[in-house]
Amino acid sequence: GLVNSRDLFAKAVSGGYAIPAYNFNNLEQLQAIIMACAETSSPVILQVSKGARNYANQTLLRHLAAGAVEYAAELGCAVPIVLHLDHGDSFELCKDCIETGFSSVMIDGSHLSYDENVKLTRKVVEFAHQHDVTVEGELGVLAGIEDDVHAAEHTYTEPDQVEDFVGKTGVDSLAIAIGTSHGAFKFKPGEDHKIRLDILAEIEKRIPGFPIVLHGASSVPQDLVQMINAHGGKLKDAVGIGEDQLREAARSAVCKINIDSDGRLAMTAAVRKVLDEKPEEFDPRKYLGPAREALKELYKHKIINVLGSNGKA
């Protein structure tokens, strides 16, 4: 069955690697994730966001994830699979996911006051742990993007707060803000493309060995952006986090790295190419198949070259 994140994180922290946390909304994305993990023998966290639940239905996604356990075994490598709620925004939603079979949840109270964040997160932890479900909390605010408006200011995680937060809430892992952000437009043109690994090091000193999570960790591969634009797309100034910086983070206390946007780019590039070059195609399998293949390669690349979770299943 599905597993929670506890043992996976303990091994990842001591082993100096990170577990991939890939979002999925449909069958092809899930197949690509499981094929990539089975072929590289990597554990995996399947993430379901609010957008995914609205798009595909939470019940269907949950059954797909449960089926993925069997599917991985059929592929010849029964990798550990976590089903995780991404960016849970209320106790009720977390409770519902916990009661219906998710093995891990995030309660994102990062936009609340410190005390409110502690209170809400503590409440979710108390409920989740009764069901052996692990909980991710968040401190600090990632810069967000609204449509095509570029990232607003970050509020970096305050290292002085992490020990108190982790102690008071009992969370199993902590998402931090060190300059990553969601989406495909992470830095403004001309801006220094650096994340604050110095803040990460400071946080690690305060809570040694505690599992740290990075959201907004897509790298926005420029070959994919160019491929999209070469086949009719219009992505201007799309940039992400350098893979070298993420590799360095994965070697330290970061044990979960969230990647969604890069997968979106890989899928879109492949679909655009097929439809552009073969306008006579109209069988969805003829463009979703290549998209799935491109996704699988991207996920394998991340596992082997960025996260280091290959062979850790």
- List of residues contacting ligand G3H (CB under 6 A): 23, 49-52, 86-87, 182, 260
Nearer to ligand G3H, 124 or 214 (CB): 214
Q: Tell me the catalytic residues.
A: 86
Q: Please tell me the distance from the alpha carbon of residue 12 to that of residue 23, in angstroms, as a whole number.
A: 20
DSSP class of 249: H
CB of 124 to ligand 13P, least distance (A): 17
> Of 70-78, 160-168, 201-209, 257-265, which part binds ligand 13P (CB under 6 A)?
257-265
Nearer to ligand G3H, 50 or 129 (CB): 50
Q: CB under 5 to 8 A by kind: which of Zn ion, ligand G3H, ligand 13P, none does 51 bind?
A: ligand G3H
98, 119 in Cβ contact below 8 A? no
What residues between 23 and 42 interact with ligand 13P by CB under 6 A? 23
Residues whose CB is less than 8 angstroms from the CB of residue 176 and which lie 6 or more positions away in sequence, other chains included: 138, 139, 140, 157, 162, 199, 200, 203, 212, 213, 214
Q: Is residue 216 part of the contact set for ligand 13P (CB under 6 A)?
A: yes
Q: Is residue 86 part of the contact set for ligand 13P (CB under 6 A)?
A: yes
User: How many CB atoms are located within 10 Å of the residue 116 CB?
Assistant: 11
Q: CB under 5 to 8 A by kind: which of Zn ion, ligand G3H, ligand 13P, none does 138 bind?
A: none
Q: Which amino acid is at 214?
A: L
CB of 281 to ligand 13P, least distance (A): 28
Nearer to ligand 13P, 5 or 261 (CB): 261
Q: Which of 162, 170, 205, 211 is nearest to 10 (CA)?
A: 211
Q: Which of 73, 1, 33 is nearest to 309 (CA)?
A: 33
The CA-CA-CA angle for residues 66, 102, 30, to 5°, reads: 45
Nearer to ligand 13P, 134 or 258 (CB): 258
Q: Which residues bind Zn ion (CB under 5 A)?
A: 215
Q: Is residue 218 part of the contact set for ligand 13P (CB under 6 A)?
A: yes
Of the candidate residues 217, 238, 269, 295, the single one contacting ligand 13P (CB under 6 A): 217
Nearer to ligand G3H, 35 or 61 (CB): 61
Q: Is residue 138 part of the contact set for ligand 13P (CB under 6 A)?
A: no
Q: CB under 5 to 8 A by kind: which of ligand G3H, Zn ion, ligand 13P, none does 50 bind?
A: ligand G3H
DSSP H helices, the chain, are: 6-15, 27-40, 50-56, 58-74, 91-100, 114-130, 159-169, 197-206, 222-230, 243-251, 261-277, 284-302
Q: CB under 5 to 8 A by kind: which of ligand G3H, ligand 13P, Zn ion, none does 273 bind?
A: none
> Of 64-72, 131-139, 216-224, 273-281, which part binds ligand 13P (CB under 6 A)?
216-224
Write the interaction track for ligand 13P spanning residues 172-201; mark x where CB under 6 A is met and - where it is not: ----------xx------------------
How would you write 100-134 as a 3-class SS string?
Answer: HCCCEEEECCCCCCHHHHHHHHHHHHHHHHHCCCE
Residues whose CB is less than 8 angstroms from the CB of residue 74 and which lie 6 or more positions away in sequence, other chains included: none
Q: Which of 183, 201, 206, 298 is nearest to 248 (CA)?
A: 201
CB of 55 to ligand G3H, least distance (A): 7
